[in-house]
Amino acid sequence: MTAPKEHLIEVRGLRSQFGDNVIHDDLDLTVERGEVIGVVGGSGTGKTVLLNTIIGLKEPEGGSVSIFGRDMATLSKEEAADVERRTGVLFQSGALFSSLTVLQNVAAPLVEHTRLPIDTINEIAEMKIAMVGLKPGAHHLKPAELSGGMKKRVGLARALALDPELLFLDEPTAGLDPIGAAAFDELIRQLSDDLGLTVFMITHDLDSLYAITDKVAVLADKRVVAKATVSELERSDHPWIREYFLGPRGRAARAA
C-alpha cells in the first residue's frame, strides 16, 4: 500500500494538568491504522492520563484529540456512540463488572450497542471468550472467583466484544507470570494481525515491546520525545531512552 495511511488517533498540542502539576505540555502523537504502538515512560509521566484523555474520560486542559478523524471535543451524541462502538479498552486491573458473570460481562457491550437476539449475543460472547483462550467452564463464574490473569483475558474479551478497530490496553501484561505474559503478547499480536486491529498499548514490559509492537512512543519531559521502532530507539541519544533500552533489562529482552 502506497497511499498515506489513515491517522486513527491524532493528538495535537495536548496539555494536561492537575492543579499546578503539569503532566503533558504540547504533546503530539499520531497513530496510524493497523499499527501496534507501545507507549512507555517512567512512573508519573502520565501514560494512563494520556490514555484517559484519548478515550474521552478526561478533558484536556489544552490542545486537541481526534479519533477516526473526528475531534473528541466536538462530537455529537451519535458520533460519540459510534466512536465507543469502534474502540475497545482493557483497563489496568480488568475493571470487570463485579455483579455480572464472565459471560454477561463480555455480552454487556453487545447488549448495549447492538440489536442482536440474545442467543446470538451469547454465542458471540462465547466465541470471544474462546478467542482469548479461556475454557467454557469459566462462563458462569463471577469476577471475584477469577485469577488476575483470567480477569485480564475476560477484560480483553469484553474489549473485543464489538470487533473494535482500535484497541486500548493499559499494562496488559502487568501482574502476569512470564509464561502468561508471553502468551498474552502472542494473543494480542495474533488478534491484531488477523483482525486488522490498531492497538494502543501502555506497557512497562520490555519483552512485550520487542515481541509485538510496530512502533514505540516514549513519554518523557512532558512530551512524546520519540516515536520509532525499537531498533531505532536503541540508537537514540536521549538519556532516558538510552537507560531504558540499553540498561540490563533492556539488553536481556533484546537478546531474547
Partner 1 sequence: MARADFQVEEKGDGAVLSLSGDWTTTSLGRTGRRLQDAVAGRKVARIDLTDLQKFDTAGALALVQGGVGGLGKAAWKARPEAGRIYALVEKLERQSVPPPRRADPVTRTFAKIGHGVYDFAAEATLSLAFLGRLIAATGSALKHPGRIRWAAWVSQAERSGLDALPIIMVTNFFIGAVVAFLGVDLLTQFGAGVFAVQLIGVSVLREFAVVITAVLLAGRSASAFAAEVGAMRMNQEIDAMQVMGVNAFQALVIPRLAALLVMLPLLTFAAMLAGLFGGLLVTWSSLNLGPAFFMQRLQDDPNMFQHAMVGLSKAPVFALVVAAIGCRQGMAVAGDVESLGRRVTAAVVQAIFAIIFLDAVFALIYLELNL
Q: Are 167 and 198 in contact (CB under 8 A)?
A: yes
Residue 98 contacts partner 1 per CB under 8 A: yes
Can you tell me which of 33, 114, 220, 225 binds partner 1, judged by CB under 8 A?
Answer: 114
User: In what helix (H) or strand (E) does residue 2 lie, and over which residues does it extend?
Assistant: none
Closest CA to 166 of 12, 35, 3: 35
Site string for partner 1, 61-90 (x = CB under 8 A): ------------------------x-----
- Work out how close the CB of 93 gets to partner 1 at its nearest, in angstroms, rounded to a whole number: 12
- What does the angle CA 219 – CA 88 – CA 220 come to, to the nearest 5 degrees? 5
Residue 33 contacts partner 1 per CB under 8 A: no
Residue with cell 475476560: 154
Nearer to partner 1 (CB atom), residue 102 or residue 233? 102
Q: Which of helix, strand or coil describes residue 59?
A: coil
Q: Where are the beta strands (DSSP E) in 56-213?
A: 62-67, 70-71, 87-90, 166-170, 198-202
Residues whose CB is less than 8 angstroms from the CB of residue 191 and which lie 6 or more positions away in sequence, other chains included: 131, 160, 197
Residue 238 contacts partner 1 per CB under 8 A: no
Residue 115 contacts partner 1 per CB under 8 A: yes
Can you tell me which of 58, 70, 142, 204 binds partner 1, judged by CB under 8 A?
Answer: 142
Nearer to partner 1 (CB atom), residue 32 or residue 234? 32
Nearer to partner 1 (CB atom), residue 128 or residue 215? 128
Residues at the contact surface with partner 1, assessed by CB under 8 A: 85, 98-99, 101, 110, 113-117, 120, 122-124, 126-128, 130-131, 136-137, 139-140, 142-144, 160-163, 190-191, 193-196
